[in-house]
Structures are given as C-alpha cells and as structure tokens.
Amino acid sequence: MIKNNVCFSIYEEKYYKKRKKIKKKRKIIAIFVIFFIVIISLFTYYFKIINPVIIGYCKAEVNKMLYQSANNSIKSVISQYNYDSLVKINYNTEGDISSIYANQIKINELANFISIRTQFEINKYLNLGVKIPLGTCSGLSILSGKGKKINLTINPISSVKCSFKTSFTSAGINQTNHKIFIIIETNSYLVLPLNSENISTNIEFLISECLIVGKIPQTYFNINSLSDIYNN
C-alpha cells in the first residue's frame, strides 16, 4: 500500500511538473503572439496613418523652402540682366519685325548663376531640417499642430535644373507683349525614420517682359522656348 502511494506521489509530481512546463510554454507563446500582434499593429498604424501625415506635412514645408530658395536666388541675380541683354530684335525698313534672336551666351550664363545660387540656398534651408509637432505625428486630427516639435532630417543632396519659356500675346494693333519665364526644377530627399521620400518641384518665375511695337511674324506666336527663338 505504501509502495503504491509512493508511486502515485511520484507520478503526480511528474504530472504537475509537466503540466507546469506546458503552461509556461503556452504563456511564452501567448506573450510572443501578443508582442507580434502589437508590433504588426504599430507598423500598420505608422505606414497607413502616421507616415502619410508626416510626408504631407514635410512636403508642404520643403516646398516652401524650395520656393523661397529659388525666389532668393533669382532676386540676387536677375538685377544684372534685362530684356535687351537676353533678346535682340531686328526691324526691316517698313518697321516690321524681321528677326528675334536670343542671346544664348547670356541665357546660359543666367541659368548657370541661378542654378548655383538656388543650390546654395536649398542646402542652407534643408540643413535646418523640418520641425513637426508630436501631435501631428500621431495622425489624429484633434492633436494636429500640438505638442513639442521634433526635428526631421532632410538629406541636403538635391539637384537643380533651369530652363526658359517665352510667350507672345497681342496687346493691340502691331503691339505684342513678350514675356520670358524661367522654370526651376528641383529634387530633394526627405529622410524619415523608416523610409525616405523624393520631393520634386517645378517653379516658374517671370524674369522679363517687353512691349514690342511692330508687326511680328505669326510663327513667333507658337514659340515656347528661347532656344526656339535663336533657331528661328
């Protein structure tokens, strides 16, 4: 009888130990599953809710910086140029326009100066980064714009490309308004905690205009770039 009780006690002890191990394993598995679900939920919330909000906010701020950079660079350079330095108009004996030539050297020089200056201005602004409120980072509209601001890094690696556009519009009898625009294309990279975003802008500025008196050949009204004027 005593022997049977001892065997039963040993069996019971082994059973409870085994059961305890199984419970411990189940607990570890449950913790792991819960942890895994929480991580997946956080990633999903970040990429679906928070990330688009941060990208939208930062894009708006970076676009302001890029526009300000381009505007500052044009202001610092454009005073050295005028319409007559960029375009030459020749008249015939009857007072009509015989030819319009773009000064390609001056145009290339202007584009180069603006590109260099814009690049410098962009790097100056982008090195400061973008400050975004923590409430905005939450993705909740009720907290938008609230809380301490955190600084997000913006990679100052960027590119600037300049091109020109021209337009001729009738301003009366034998009078034509000729406008010259510069188009500044910029590309910069926004570095976020888990990904990066390319931000491109296409900014157009009016840099010169002139009221031309005299009959202009109809072919000039369809010209879009200064290089087309030069080729005509």
- Along the chain (232 residues), what's the average pLDDT of each consecutive run of 10 residues? 50 62 78 86 79 80 82 82 80 74 83 85 79 75 74 72 82 79 82 72 84 68 56 53
pLDDT, residue 6, reads 47
pLDDT, residue 2, reads 46
pLDDT digits (tens, 9 = 90+) for 197-209: 777 888 888 888 8
User: Domain containing 152: what range?
Assistant: 2-231
Overall number of domains in the chain: 1
pLDDT, residue 97, reads 73
Q: Average model confidence (pLDDT) for the chain?
A: 76
CA distance linking residue 128 with residue 153, whole number of Å: 8
pLDDT, residue 13, reads 58
